[in-house]
Every structure is written in C-alpha cells, then in structure tokens.
Copies of this chain bind each other. A is one copy, B any other.
C-alpha cells in the first residue's frame, strides 16, 4: 500500500491528503435540509448530512488527489450512526481507488492493539468466515504504550500489505508538554522517531517503509531534524492551512527525491467555500471550491519543493 501511495502521489503530482473531518457547521444548508427532511434532526440525519457532504467532495476531487484521511472522532461524535457514515465514507473512497488513511490514533496493550489492528486494517475470524471490519489502508497509531502496542499493527500490516503512521510530534500548541521533554539531552519525540525508524526497517516497500510518522506542519524546524532521523519513513503532515502551515515551511519534510511527505489539509479544503478566497463558488458549489483549494494547495507545495 505504501507503494500505491507513492505512485499515486507521483501520478497526481500532489503530496496531498484531504482530511475528511466533517463538522455539521461545514455542511451547506441545502444538504442539511435534505438530510433532516429524510431522517429528521437526529443522529441519523446528521450522519446522512456528513456522508452526503463527503460524497460531494470525493466526487469533485478523487481524480486529482492520492489519498483521504477521515478523522474518526468527527464521526464518533454522532454515535453508532456516525460510525456507519465513517464506514460508508471509507468504502466509497476505496471504490474511487483513493488510499484511505483512517485517522484513529488508537494504541493500547498488546492483545487490545491486536483487536484494533484487526478491526481497522485486517480481517476478523467469525466461525469459518473472515471479514474486514472498517478496512482502511493506513491508520494512525499512538506510541505512548511502547512496542507491544505497535507490534500487532505491524503484523497485520505485513499480512494485508497495509501501513500505519505513528504519532511523533503532533501539530497542536501543547504538543510539547510531554513530546518535547529532554531525555539524555534529546526530546521524547526524537526518541519516538528513532523507534519509528527502527520498527520501519523491517517493513520496507520499494523505496519507503510502510511504517510512517506524524509530524505537524506547525513545527518546521523539528520536521527538518526528524526527516534525517527517519529517512525511510513517509511523514504525514497535519496542520497545513487552517492550523497555520504553508508550503514553503514544509520543504524539509521532503527528501531529495521530492517524496517522503504527504501533507494533510482538512478544513482548508472541505470548508473552502466558507473562505473569502472561494466565496464566489457559493454553498451549492462547495465541492468545486474544494477542488480549487486542492489545486491551489498542490501549486503551493509543488512550487515550494521545486524551489527547495
């Protein structure tokens, strides 16, 4: 799957992943009205609204992007109905041949991590049959519990030819509270990055490992250091756009081959029609605004990489 991701990034000339993190407040009125007419102002109505919203964006962008990253929290907030919309979104993106990164940030002790790995990437055995649960292509994983929380994911990734991105340095303001603490003179995030490099060596695709890392766009100096610590890890970069990151800040997240990083934008793309720059599209054409935002982001990133 890491090979597919790299190929799709190269083919689209777009190291971009669209964060499908729908808030009800992003969903245009006409979609909400229709969904609520059909299913009421209920959890089912909300789930229908975010699913239709997603579908519009996917239809308008799937041919110019390599990947999507649905954030499962935005679905879990609507309970079981929301989780059903998550699954629908994953399935539809896969129909469109997009690489799906489930932003689930799971992580637990061994046997429990195994259940998460099986449920999100692998197949679970039921009697004589086996079934995919959610069937994403990649997931994000929290490292706080150490290797035996990671190993079950590695095992399933090997079996299924899938992958994961491990949280190293997150994009939020207080990420430093624990992640930046010095251990023998080196910050914790660097220690985690060294582990990601170590875990990833046994999990190589053609040119990159299928064990990648999450490093926020909001800390470009750290990104530069971590690029060298994990040369074979793909870096998933959240925090572009709405959280403040710009293409020029991100050049050091990429390797000399122009690869090695994939930048996420969520609100900046899916709620583009709400930004001044894109108001001309209007809420009815929100998905076209999203497409234009992808095109602009691609230009920003590709220019930055070319001028590196």
Contact = CB atoms under 8 A, between A and B. Distances in A.
Contact of A78 (B112, B133, B195): B133
A203 interface: no
Interface string A84-121: 10010000000000000000011111101101101110
B115 A147 contact: no
A149 B147 CA distance: 23
Given A148-B173, A192-B178, A129 B41 contact: yes
Contact of A41 (B43, B128, B178): B128
A145 B175 contact: yes
B172 A181 contact: no
A129 B42 contact: yes
A172 B34 CA distance: 49
Contacts of A183: 181-183, 188
A115 B76 contact: yes
A83 interface: yes
Interface residues of A, number: 72
Contacts of A128: 41
A292 interface: no
A285 interface: no
Given A80-B83, A109-B171, A119-B77, A126 B24 contact: yes
A172 B149 contact: yes
A210 interface: no
A142 B107 contact: yes
Contact of A177 (B87, B131, B132, B147): B147
Q: A42, A73, A148, A175 — which one has the most chain B CB atoms within 10 A of its CB? A: A73
A77 B124 contact: yes
B172 A178 contact: no
Contacts of A191: 178, 181
Given A79-B133, A80-B80, A177 B115 contact: no
Q: Which 7 A-B pairs have the closest CB atoms?
A: A41-B127, A146-B177, A79-B133, A146-B174, A77-B119, A109-B172, A73-B115
